[in-house]
Amino acid sequence: MTAAAEETAAPASRRGRGLLGTSAWVVLLVLVVTGFGFLASRSEAPPDQGPPRGDVAAAQRAIDALLDPGTTPGALASLPADFTRVTGVVPGEATARDGTVRAVHVDGGCSTPWGDDDTRWDFGTPCRAHDLGYDLLRYAEKKGHPLGPEVRRALDDRLSADMRATCALNPSGSPQLCQGVASLYSAGLVVNSWHQRWGPPVGEPIVPMLAGVAVIGFLVAFRLRGWLVARRTRPRTDAPEPRPEPVPGGRWTLLGVGSIGLLVLGEASVALARWAGAPSDWLWPFTWLAQLAFVFFFAAGHSNLTGWLTVRRHGGGYREYLAHRASWLLRLTLVFAVVAFAVPTALELLAVPEGTSDVVVRIALHPLWLLGVYMVTLAATPVLLALHRRAPVPAGLALVAALAGVELLADRVDSPVLGNLSVVVLALLAQQLAFAHAGRPRPRPWLLAVAGLAGAGALTAGAVSGLVPATLLGSSAESPALTGPVLPVLALGLVQLSLLGLLRAPLARLAASPRVLRAAGFASRAPMSLYLLFLAGMLLVVAAVYLPERLAAGSLRVLLAVAMLTGPAALVFWWFERHLGYRPPPLPAWRTAPGRLDRALAHAATVAGIGYSTLGVFGFALSSFSGAGQVTLAGLPLDPIQSLVHLLLGMSLLHTVRTGVSNAPRTWLLTALACVPPLLSATAGPSTFALGVVVHGVTGLLAVSAALATVWAARPTSGYAT
């Protein structure tokens, strides 16, 4: 449907407010994307280097002199001997309005977006003294010993106080306007220093960041366009439509929701108990009870199997299966764009200690790692199911051997890639057990008892000998996808599955309860808002531990921190999730691609969509917003902005496959555009990431070629598919 036809189809009652509604969405989109880019591009937090020594100690003394000005420029005498050679800055002295003599950066000034502006009230000398302080911070950073964040805060506070004092000494007939300008300059100082985490004021690669933010806006607008058109053109009726009963969840939905819910709650509870002072000797049994990752992947295997068979019954194939299953799963990952910047920002707002903040962020991002591994198992389902049907025992033994080999190699080579790879193999093994469980009669009780006792015996022997750690959940030394050792988690998972099988009868009666099924169905369809509310509650508990007096007094900081999560939770639920319990996403009617080019483009969009979305999930989890900055994954440079570009690009491509528009030129033009920010990021640093250039360069060229091919193929006809 063309834009004109869509507008004509819109009822008159809705057409009048269509422009206002669209404008409001555009404004909201700009604000959200800009805010995301600003928060996501924060600099890496400087490490604590301890007390300064040598030349850096001299720089610290010079800054101390700048903070306490007098009748002589004492900072000049304290400057390190090689200061000018290292920084290229020539210092000097100047007299301020209050009569003090300041050491200054002679060529400095009050920096503004339109250039240096000392204003008519003459803020020049305080600004140049502040510039010299920043030069000393850069000097310390170049010497390999960045000074602490409190030093930059003190320099900013000094400049703010100097500007206000200048307004009192030289109001120039407008003291209130002077104070307002001083407040504006001070706010700019604070925002810029906060953005750089109060570290050294170094230059940042702003071009990749701006390009990434712009592309994120395009990708989000592209994805929301169809939803907004459908919303605007949907006819309104005075009579309310009868609301059907909520769709209940199945038993595997119940097992999956329950296992991941108990895992996250258990990990959070153990962490909170440690902060409250509970001894570790009493906490390890709870980690064994809550470590349900293997059970989660077992339930995910059943869900993947059901999804694949359902798509096949509806006439779809591997391409349609990936597009349909991954589309809904990837929507869940978008909530972590909120989590990953809201949680660290809220913790910083509450002034929670750094160690505690790291633990909270790790817990908050743990489900993202599980979703990333789930994506891999989803993509591997058809292949592994075919192997299972042909040779079930050899296929299972091959995965066991692969897991043992990866674990053995990981013990000898200290590589996080191998640790994460072992988790993927563990998840595939759990899925293979799900295939075996679905295709065979119910196992005999004695066999379940033997398997459970074998797993329990292995865990006990390992714990007694010291080979198995007492804590199986919440360890920062293990893979973030499990936060526990892989092989003990496997043994524990076998014990848990055996117990579930032995207790099948009472658990089946519980699972058959309509209330339980409705709760599981709701949790599976409103996970984003529920998870945000859980994190908001966790923030309240953290505030109760560290800031009991502020929590009791209803501190504005606490309220803002909680609102950063409860606000998005309410919006996500109201706009999206409240309808899904009544209208779950249906399977689309698969349409056979009419030509060879269309089929090739659909296959290409599927492969690129799964690849980039998986890269985005893992890159987002690795980089996050906890101060890690740019990270490298298999030779590809990733930061939060570029990871979100990858995730949204993958989602958009899979959506075009699902809706049958992967042969439209706009699909591939947008893909080519999305490759620009990662290319800029790969070449922005002191060294070029060759793999990043190759991957995104080749993708961009192929996307441009696909766009040209679709335009050429549409020439003899009246148009192409839209």
How does 511-548 read in b/e, with b if 16+ C-beta sit within 10 Å? beeeebbbbbbbbbbbbbbbbbbbbbebbebbbeebbe
Please, are residues 38 and 195 in contact by the beta-carbon 8 Å criterion? Answer: yes
Q: Which domains does the chain have, with CATH numbers?
A: 3-41+205-235+595-713 (no CATH), 54-195 (1.20.90), 251-580 (no CATH)
The string of pLDDT tens digits covering residues 267-276 is 888 888 887 7
Separation of alpha carbons 587 and 95, rounded Å: 75
Phi and psi angles of residue 235, each rounded to the nearest 5 degrees, phi first? -65, 145
Q: Which is more confidently placed, 224 or 532?
A: 532
**Mean per-residue pLDDT for 11-36?**
54
Helix (H, G, I), strand (E, B) or coil at 352: coil
Evaluate if residue 23 carries a pLDDT over 60: no
- Pairing outcome for strands 631-633 and 115-116: unpaired
Torsion of CA 385, 391, 396, 397, to 10 degrees: -160
Token readout for 315 is 């006439």
Taking alpha carbons only, the member of 664, 671, 676, 682 closest to residue 722 is 664
Predicted pLDDT at 10: 40
Owner of token pair 């620009």: 676
Residues 6+ apart with CB under 8 A from 626: 344, 357, 358, 361
Helix (H, G, I), strand (E, B) or coil at 633: strand
Instruction: Please give the mean pLDDT across all residues of the chain.
Output: 81
Separation of alpha carbons 55 and 226, rounded Å: 61
The string of pLDDT tens digits covering residues 523-570 is 777 788 888 888 888 888 887 777 776 665 557 777 888 888 888 888
- Pairing outcome for strands 91-95 and 101-105: antiparallel
Long-range contacts at 35-40 (CB < 8 A, ≥ 24 apart): 36/213, 36/216, 36/337, 36/341, 36/641, 36/644, 37/209, 37/210, 37/212, 37/213, 37/216, 37/641, 38/195, 39/341, 39/345, 39/625, 40/341, 40/625, 40/639, 40/640, 40/641, 40/644
Q: Among 46-60, 378-392, 615-629, which stretch is predicted with the lowest mean pLDDT?
A: 615-629
Predicted pLDDT at 690: 86
Q: Which is more confidently placed, 3 or 645?
A: 645
Helix (H, G, I), strand (E, B) or coil at 588: coil
Predicted pLDDT at 74: 81
Predicted pLDDT at 220: 80
Residues 6+ apart with CB under 8 A from 113: none
Token readout for 446 is 């004695």
**What pLDDT band is residue 294 in, cutting at 50, 70 and 90?**
very high
Predicted pLDDT at 526: 79
Predicted pLDDT at 410: 84
Integer CA distances (angstroms), 222 to 226, 359, 606, 648, in order? 8, 36, 18, 10
The string of pLDDT tens digits covering residues 295-307 is 999 999 999 999 8
Evaluate if residue 18 carries a pLDDT over 60: no
| DSSP code string of 461-490 | HHHHHTSS-S--SS-TTS-TTTSS-HHHHH
Query: Within its chain, how far is the Cα of 138 from the centroid?
Result: 30
Separation of alpha carbons 469 and 464, rounded Å: 10
pTM equals: 0.78
**Mean per-residue pLDDT for 615-643?**
74
Highest average pLDDT, of 23-27, 88-92, 241-245, 715-719, comes from 88-92
How does 606-636 read in b/e, with b if 16+ C-beta sit within 10 Å? bebbbbbbbbbbbbbbbbbbbbebbbebeeb
Separation of alpha carbons 158 and 181, rounded Å: 16
Evaluate if residue 14 carries a pLDDT over 50: no
354-390 and 392-412 helices, crossing angle to 10°: 150
Predicted pLDDT at 417: 79
**What pLDDT band is residue 650 in, cutting at 50, 70 and 90?**
very high
> To the nearest whole percent, how much of the chain has pLDDT over 70?
83
Q: Which is more confidently placed, 218 or 32?
A: 218
Taking alpha carbons only, the member of 532, 605, 530, 588 closest to residue 565 is 532
Predicted pLDDT at 189: 86
Predicted pLDDT at 24: 58
